[in-house]
Amino acid sequence: DTEVTQTPKHLVMGMTNKKSLKCEQHMGHRAMYWYKQKAKKPPELMFVYSYEKLSINESVPSRFSPECPNSSLLNLHLHALQPEDSALYLCASSQGLAGVGEQYFGPGTRLTVT
């Protein structure tokens, strides 16, 4: 199984809502990532979890809160978002070993903030 799954596929939320994005992989990977991709732009790194610990936070606003409950799951909790946060949110995973970089991406969650 070389698949990263993400739910939901689409999400519309108001600026006062609280919602969560979910990501799951069963490849035994120990590193998981969140990226944000705006239309016609490349993905931009948000967070890296390595062995279930947050290792990189690319200065992401606190209205985005990541969580890694176990080695297969990654969540992104959303609260008080702004319309400019509307984007495709991509989850990825990799083996997590030092120097091994290939990342497998999920299909993404298309988020619209109204």
Q: Is 16 or 59 the residue whose CB approaches other proteins more closely? A: 59
Task: Using CB under 8 A, count the residues that bind other proteins.
Answer: 33
Structural contact between residues 114 and 15, judged by C-beta atoms closer than 8 angstroms: yes
- Residue 108 sits in the site that holds other proteins (CB under 8 A): yes
- Of all helices (H) and strands (E), which one includes residue 11? strand 10-13
Determine how many CB atoms are found less than 10 A away from the CB of residue 70. Answer: 8
- Residue 44 sits in the site that holds other proteins (CB under 8 A): yes
Contact pattern for other proteins over residues 46 through 85, marking x by CB under 8 A: --xxxx---xx-x---------------------------
Structural contact between residues 58 and 109, judged by C-beta atoms closer than 8 angstroms: no
Structural contact between residues 106 and 6, judged by C-beta atoms closer than 8 angstroms: yes
Q: Kindly state the tokens that stand for 22.
A: 């979910």
- Residue 30 sits in the site that holds other proteins (CB under 8 A): yes
Using CB under 8 A as the criterion, which residues of the chain lie in contact with other proteins when the complex forms?
A: 4, 30-31, 33, 35, 40-45, 48-51, 55-56, 58, 90, 92, 94, 96-99, 101-108
